[in-house]
Structure 1
Amino acid sequence: MATEAHCAYCFESLLASLEKRPALSLNEVESLWAKFKGSDTGDNLAEASDELRSPAMNRLLAPSPASTSSSSVSSTSASTPLSTEESSKSSSRSSLSSSIKKTEHEEFPLFVTWNTISRSGHKNLRGCIGTFEAQALDDGLRSYALTSAFEDTRFNPISLREAPSLECGVTLLTDFLPASDPMAWEIGKHGLRISFTYNGRRYGSTYLPDVAREQGWTKEETLVSLMRKAGWNGRKDEWRKVSDLNVVTYQGDRVVLGYSAWQEWRDWVDGSNEGR
């Protein structure tokens, strides 16, 4: 399932590219995002194994002096049995360490969407590109964050001055199933991937699960729009007459994050690095 940290990583990748600086890795962003949110998970992430982090990350995520004593107790565990609570924490850290390693290498088909938000709150699409081939999240999110920002041919490349107006959406795709009928799907639940033949040519396109609901379309309006997107120019009441219409449904809840939320986190990260 997509998370706000995934969106923050997309912002980190985009802004690092625009500002010509190194970007944090997905694991680093997830660790810092959790600690910034002040959750128990964040505290555990701060104590994850050193091999997952650079020296700079180790210093940033190091325990505060107030918690040093618990680390000292752990260091004497060879001669002093761990209490039930300490044993539980140790097990939790070990489990979390494994989950951090796994997250970076989990693979999903995915889409990254960039929108601009006007002062009045109106949302405009600014770029949306993804893939149906499973991608390791670290590489896939970074790659498609940049591709959708710079290479969506419907728009000019996103510029640094636009950053404060941006919103990022990440959708991880799951549950691909062939539809028994072009209408056998639910608005708001299913994304659609279609292919068909028209005038001897093969066409295809997709809409993510949230599109039809956001646009207020019926199922038929969604299919006609999707076929238009693919390049079909027939009469809208003749959409069923195309040859070999194939519809595949899939699922995936989109998670969004605005620039201001990312910038607040980034300021915290930079502030935590002061004096290092």
Structure 2
Amino acid sequence: GRDARSIYTDAAVVPAGERCPLFVTFNVASAAGGRGCFGGGGGDGGLRLRGCIGSLEPLEVRSGVTQFAQRSAFSDRRFPPITASELPRLHCCVSLLTNYERADHVHDWVVGTHGIILEFRDPRGTRRSATYLPEVAGEQGWNQREAIESLVQKAGWAGAITQAMLDAASLTRYQSSKCSMSYQHFKDSWLAGVPADAATAAGASG
């Protein structure tokens, strides 16, 4: 991801009222650190997902990042809320979603380039949908078929995944512009940008 200084610069030039679909992701790194927005399998240097919530519909970027940072950190039902003890190893990634395109079929996308939104009806007739951001498949080591099957399960279908179901499904692909920052980089940059007495007080409060 980018360093803290570039993120501050980018944030400063986001026009007030700018609207875009976005997701906020939190991960916790191992003691050796980690890269990317999603953990790829654990081990030293890996990242473990701790929350990811966002909107596929456009919303005001500045308020949206604030809203979904809070929800991702504390309200993702898949995980317990992030705790203060995790802060030294915490990483945050903001993804702005762009270039939505209707795909010709469920394999009409490129791993590592496109995020995907899969919409389908299960054999009971229930409409289901789910999405993976562009980095997920690559960081998990999935090919297209594995990513699609995982997405079907993410959408809530635990039954057999038939070719007929996939043939009838629709897929929208998109790309993203993302930036990431570790808590430590944020803390160091923030302390460097405030008066010494304020930095001392902030450091003491931990």
Same fold (TM over 0.5): yes
User: What's the offset of the Cα at 1:5?
Assistant: 5.9
Partner in structure 2 of residue 250 of structure 1: 174
Distance 1:149 1:257, change over 3 A: same
Partner in structure 1 of residue 131 of structure 2: 206
Larger Rg: 1
Whether 1:227 and 2:152 are equivalent positions in the alignment is: yes
Partner in structure 2 of residue 41 of structure 1: none
Per the normalisation by structure 2, the TM-score is 0.81
CA distance in 2, matches of 1:158, 1:177: 34
Aligned pair count reads 186
After superposition, the C-alpha distances for 1:82-108 in whole angstroms (9 at most, x for unaligned) are: xxxxxxxxxxxxxxxxxx4x5232111
Distance 1:219 1:242, change over 3 A: closer
CA distance in 1, matches of 2:30, 2:139: 17
Q: Match for 1:116: what amino acid?
A: V
CA distance in 1, matches of 2:101, 2:25: 23
SS of 1:139's equivalent in the other structure is: helix
CA distance in 2, matches of 1:159, 1:115: 12
User: What's the offset of the Cα at 1:228?
Assistant: 0.6
Runs of at least 5 residues in structure 1 that lack an aligned partner in the other structure: 10-26, 32-99
- Correspondent of 1:175 among 85, 99, 106: 99
Q: Match for 2:170: what amino acid?
A: N
Q: Match for 1:191: what amino acid?
A: G
More helix per residue: 1 or 2?
1
- Correspondent of 2:23 among 94, 98, 111: 111
Mapped contact 2:116–2:174 kept (Cα < 8 A): yes
CA distance in 2, matches of 1:271, 1:259: 20
User: What's the offset of the Cα at 1:273?
Assistant: 6.9
Distance 1:127 1:158, change over 3 A: same
CA distance in 2, matches of 1:257, 1:169: 7
Runs of at least 5 residues in structure 2 that lack an aligned partner in the other structure: 32-43, 200-206
Which structure's relative contact order is higher, taking Cα pairs within 8 Å and 6+ residues apart?
A: 2
User: What's the offset of the Cα at 1:135?
Assistant: 1.6
User: What's the offset of the Cα at 1:271?
Assistant: 3.0
CA distance in 2, matches of 1:6, 1:130: 24
Partner in structure 2 of residue 92 of structure 1: none
After superposition, the C-alpha distances for 1:21-64 in whole angstroms (9 at most, x for unaligned) are: xxxxxx9x945xxxxxxxxxxxxxxxxxxxxxxxxxxxxxxxxx
CA distance in 2, matches of 1:239, 1:258: 42
Partner in structure 2 of residue 142 of structure 1: 66
Alignment of 1:10-29 (within 5 A): none
Distance 1:153 1:6, change over 3 A: farther
CA distance in 2, matches of 1:109, 1:263: 27
CA RMSD of aligned residues (A): 2.6
CA distance in 2, matches of 1:30, 1:250: 22
